[in-house]
Amino acid sequence: MLNKTQIKLQHINSLLYLVAMLPLFSLKMVSISIIIFLVTALFNFFHRKEKLESINYKYILLFAAPFFLNILALLYTNNYQISLKILEKNLAIIIFPVVFFFLKPFYRNSQFIRFIQVYILSCFAMVVFSIIYVLVNVSNIVVNNTNNNNYQSVVKLRESLDLVPIIGEHTIYYSLLVGVGLLLLYYNRFKSIILNILLYVFFVLGLLLASSKGVILALILVSICVIFQKNKNVKRSSLVTVVFLVGISLLGYFSPLKVRIESFFKNKHFYPTGIHYNSVNIRNAIYSCSFSLIDDAGLFGFSPGDTQVKLNECYKQFDTVAFQKKSYNTHNQYLDYLLSFGFVGLFIMLFVYFQYLKIALKANNRFYLNFLIFFYIAFLTENILARNTGIILFNLFNCLMGYRVLILKETYE
């Protein structure tokens, strides 16, 4: 029998799982859940009377490396206020390592499983709400196709995901949330087979609805890695991969993703011109400017507060309204590190990311390994850590899995 104190502690500990409901929270709600996560972990820490000798300082430094780079960049930024806002946005990068490697909120495998399951079910609810919202508003979303407006219909369909009340999210981050949910589900399936199938189906529907090419490509490549990891027979793995790719192609053909892929091949302008622009030629202009700025970035970069200013200046060479409507970042996390922190900062971050891989490989933890591969590939096509959702999603689960491997010595195949 549990005494009253133990029951009270269990109720308090349940607050740790609030942050796992990230897919269902607005930005303010996420911020509040992180504060609750920190306060609850602090309460547990002092209740356990943990000794300071057990603090893993090196892991805190390793997992919070980007935050310290942002602090150093304050020394040479020309836009101090913007840099401070970016630093504030990146607070989660220091909070999560401190909570996991200092306060150590979880100490049983069942707590990890519960945390992950809360996230998976939250993702499922997000997808269900999104689909309902799209179906209810379909008449306002779908453009009349008499003038071959398939592309515009898909654009409006994807934009509608950002308009869902409370849980509205940019399609890239919506896809990331669902993609992580899919990966977590594969390694943490529920006991009910029917529930697992239902979750898989809705997660795939959510991915097709958002049609984010970069995230879907990352998931496909990770899935191929999983196939070869599970089957040592190369011929069998190759056959399964072919069947998998055929199935994915068929799904893509009957989804909004088809129109997105077709736009890549039907693109008439390499760079955006006037009102003629789409995601393909805008990216061409973005990458052109990003690479042209590398020489000026030097050893230490422009600083996070100045990088966007430099990009916006470069975009002025393109005679189009596209860059007047909104600001576009590098759309590549590694390029962003290079421009913001220079070659020194990029080297540090590549070293840090390699250390995460070493941790996963040394522990033979395929779950953590494939999570990292998924994000490292996604980093190639998107500046994932430019928004709160990306910052929190990556750092929360990176710290969670790193803590599980390094502190609890859990192996996950």
How far, in Å, CA of 138 to CA of 229, rounded?
41
3-state SS of 15-53 is HHHHHHHHHHCCHHHHHHHHHHHHHHHHHHHHHHCCCHH
How far, in Å, CA of 180 to CA of 374, rounded?
9
DSSP state of 274: B
Write phi, then psi, for 320 (nearest 5 degrees): -155, 155
User: With contact defined as beta carbons under 8 Å apart, do 76 and 18 qualify?
Assistant: no
pLDDT in tens, 289-304: 999 999 999 899 999 9
* Residue keyed to tokens 């893993």: 56
The tokens of 283 are what? 């990216």
Task: State the pTM of this model.
Answer: 0.91
Paired residues of 276 in beta bridges? 273
pLDDT score for 145 = 46
The tokens of 317 are what? 């060479």
Q: What is the dihedral of CA 272, 276, 282, 284, to 10 degrees?
A: -50
pLDDT score for 249 = 82
With 0-12 / 13-18 / 19 or more C-beta atoms within 10 angstroms meaning exposed / middle / buried, residue 358 is exposed
Q: Which amino acid is residue 382, in one-letter code?
A: E
Closest CA to 219 of 197, 251, 194: 251
**DSSP-derived 3-state class of residue 11:** helix
What are the residue ranges in the chain where pLDDT is below 70? 1-10, 49-55, 141-155, 253-269, 410-413
Domain residues of the chain, as ranges?
A: 1-55, 58-93+267-413, 107-265
**DSSP-derived 3-state class of residue 340:** helix
Q: In 37-142, at which residue ranges do the beta strands (DSSP E only) sit? A: none
Q: Cα angle at 33 between 31 and 34, to 5 degrees?
A: 65
pLDDT score for 44 = 86
pLDDT score for 7 = 58
How far, in Å, CA of 47 to CA of 40, rounded?
11
